[in-house]
Structure 1
């Protein structure tokens, strides 16, 4: 037999070299580490929606008009979505735990600065800095989860929890944002990040192992192209409802994004250590999972916007009640986080994705029937519960397909890619839905325009189901 070079992946399993007591300690340490990292992810996820509920209070407190107020959200979204790929690659090169902690530090400090902001410019700058910190930290979360799991079953459970935190945290952000805004001040939507961030920064190095560094050169050209493309596209999408889809700003930004993506596609195969490894985009099932993720995230973010508007404007719910109204969705997502790994092990990813996207479509069609005489219990509660269960069936299998089969040294890039399409999907969904809604809207009323908007979200997820059937089916079930 020829001699074989032994890598960390080819070492004998831990069970053959460690005592049961040592294995138990390592297992507990890994579980604690995973939970700490997930708390960091929850904080980043909450920030995507917790500030949204406080926007009217922020506008009153700082004298911001509607157009300026939108930048409190857009500044975070553009920085977060634009730098995600770069953040993932930095983690691969310099150590994922190191970059994760740097990102959380920037995010936490920016939250403190934003909470004390006395001018609109300072608040918007702090929100942009939060987005930069989140873009550095978020890709490391999924990469650390997948590399910390001791086996495939633990990895699937970690992915399910990540998926639940990703979308469930958004609904919790609505509830928490309403609570702290009504009880205290809009500033606490930012201050609340500070103790959580400090705790995660202090505890993560004690329980989470650093990953090996990539000794190759950093792909600066690829980073500039990837970041520029993502920023241009997100900028165009966030501004499209205000400036119009055919405006020079929207078309120019989209065109710049396409040109930069083309430059990225040309340069990456010729670089020794590319920003985005081309092989990540050569797998049909991974591409299908990315497409499904984009469409589903777009539908979910749009649903948050539409349902919150309906609850507050048509049913006259306060901020706390509007946030609490999403609890059925949250409970459905977290319940499926426990079941989805077992279902994936039994049936594979594709059947769950198809079932989940069809369930989401049903929930949106149901919501499209709301009118001024509808009530929460009859028109909203059940579809939100169906939505949560269906989303729980969708996100974990999609993440599993994207991260499956990725070389350990490229998990940060794969994680950055997954979360970039999530951000792009959210921006696309919100831009399209707001435009559709505005086309049929009547001043002072919510329901006109809502039916077409909800049916558009249903079209998103129906298309995702079709893609799941066409792109993800294979003769042999994915284990």
Structure 2
């Protein structure tokens, strides 16, 4: 077992240079961009639906097409970085992401739009794990890395909120197409800055488990699809049962192959390193909460409370500020408190805030029904993202940093995709169906979604406490 605290004080005599901090800024901007792209479309979903004539399930795939491609390919992206060079794969991924953003913004039809979102996800899957691996290479274990992970966790947390805020403003001023195009110039700037400021690394070499990548990606895609359409077509119909069976078979075959292959995509030994497995399990649950929150909260504000896109975006500022504040102070808190207890407390705060938000009154007030629960949610998310990233990467050998970076991003994104698919099935059953649901029906449906996310967050807090006790024994 790894005995080094995940946010340990620095034992080195050297300190990070200005060039290293600049490199962190560039790489963190890339991470911010891929997280932002997950949620920036949420406020624009009603306009996208009208513009491209998409059903509620079709709209969910504007989000899930990106998230699923992103999550399903992240482990492969991390492994490609380890084998062929992290900066090289990062640059390729950023280029693909940029192209996908431009096509999504100019898409003339729903089919082109969804294909472009998948392309964005593929690019993000290459750049996100390699960006984290490059950061961990720039900052060896110590206080410098602790601060870098604090920045990384803050970026991961506030990226979702910033997407909602900026999405509302951009949609209200420029229209829904701009929410896709706005990321392209930022990605181009990241490309140029990376070439100029981030040093190239030496490829580790090795083989790529393509069969494993196909099996896990196909299994996760089939599972997400089945959950997405189950509420629409019925859980016992062939259209749902067939992909569920395919998902189970592919994922079982993937797990079996990883034990037998000499060069597996995910070596089982990695999951026994430090707290990699525990952190990824909890991050899966947190991902479901995170994506569900940023999908349903803007819908509640616009469809039930009658907010404009701009107002729905601006009312997320308290949540963004709290996530930023909590992420910033987490490294300091971790040096003085038990990190397991701190993580469990953060997840409990998150659950409490979501349970408060689940009231979803039709005549909800900004201060009592939006801002107050958002402060609890922001504190929980900010702390949890930083600590889980730290726990997942502590004690991992340098040659597997890219893989582990891919894993922790994978579990968050796949947890989000599966969670959103399941939540959509729940809300369809609870009242978000039919041609013209009333605000009361929608409020009930969205309240049900927040109740489920609160239960997931509470389960994550309990699991954290249980795993802590088992580790102690």
Query: What is the TM-score when the length of structure 1 is the normalising length?
Result: 0.89
- 1:180 matches 2:178: no
**1:325-404 superposed matches below 5 A:** 325-404=315-394
Residue 273 (structure 1) aligned to one of 256, 259, 263: 263
Q: CA deviation at 1:36?
A: 0.3
CA 1:210–1:226 in structure 2 vs 1: closer, same or farther (change >3 Å)?
farther
* C-alpha contact 2:350 2:376 (8 A) present in aligned 1: yes
Shift of 1:68: 4.0
Q: Tell me if the contact between 2:360 and 2:444 (Cα under 8 Å) persists in the aligned partners.
A: no
Deviation at 1:66, TM superposition (A): 4.4
> What is the CA distance between 1:343 and its match in structure 2?
1.6
Q: 1:470 to 1:68 in 2, by over 3 A?
A: closer
Matching of residue 307 in structure 1 with residue 302 in structure 2: no
Shift of 1:138: 1.2
The residue correspondences of 1:51-130 to structure 2 (distance < 5 A) are 51-130=41-120
Name the CA shift for 1:217/1:61 in 2 (closer, same or farther; >3 Å). Answer: same
Distance of aligned partners of 1:238 and 1:407 in 2 relative to their CA distance in 1, 3 Å threshold: farther
Q: What is the DSSP-based 3-state SS (H/G/I as helix, E as strand, rest coil) of the residue aligned with 1:88? A: helix
- Contact kept? 1:285, 1:472, Cα under 8 Å: no
Q: Structure 2 vs 1, CA of residues 439 and 237 (structure 1 numbering), >3 Å: closer, same or farther?
A: closer
- Unaligned 5+ residue runs, structure 1? 1-12, 16-22
Distance 1:376-1:147 versus aligned 2 partners, 3 A rule: same
Instruction: Give the 3-state SS of the residue equivalent to 2:360 in structure 1.
Output: coil
Q: Which moved more, 1:87-96 or 1:452-461?
A: 452-461
Return the match for 1:237 from 223, 227, 230: 227
Residue by residue over 1:313-360, the C-alpha shift from the partner in whole angstroms, topping out at 9 and shown as x without a partner, is 222111111111111111111111221112222224211111101101
The residue that corresponds to 1:213 in the other structure is 203
Q: Do the aligned partners of residues 396 and 474 (structure 1) sit closer, same or farther apart at CA in structure 2, a change above 3 Å counting?
A: farther
Contact 2:68/2:417 (CA < 8 Å) preserved in 1?
no
Matched length? 457
Please say which of residues 62-71 and 406-415 is displaced more in the overlay. Answer: 62-71
Q: Any unmatched runs of 5+ in structure 2?
A: 1-10
Deviations 1:165-222 (A, max 9, x none): 1231111111111111111122211221121011100111222223331222222222
- Give the structure 2 partner of residue 131 of structure 1: 121
TM-score normalised by the chain length of structure 2: 0.90
Q: Is the 8 A contact 1:237 1:427 kept in 2?
A: no
Q: CA RMSD in A?
A: 2.3
Q: Identify which range, 270-279 or 429-438, moves more after superposition.
A: 429-438
- Counterpart of 2:430 in structure 1 is 440
Per-residue deviation, residues 351-387 of structure 1 (Å, max 9, x unmatched): 1111101101111221123322331111111110111
8 A Cα contact 1:100 1:138, kept in partner? yes
> How does 1:24-63 map onto structure 2 within 5 Å?
27-63=17-53
Contact 1:238–1:427 at 8 Å: present in 2 too? Answer: no
1:8-19 aligned within 5 A: none
* Offset from partner CA, 1:20-49 (integer Å, 9 cap, x none): xxx67x610000000100111111111111
Give the equivalent residue in structure 1 for 2:466: 470
- Cα 1:210–1:257, aligned 2, differ >3 Å: closer, same or farther? farther
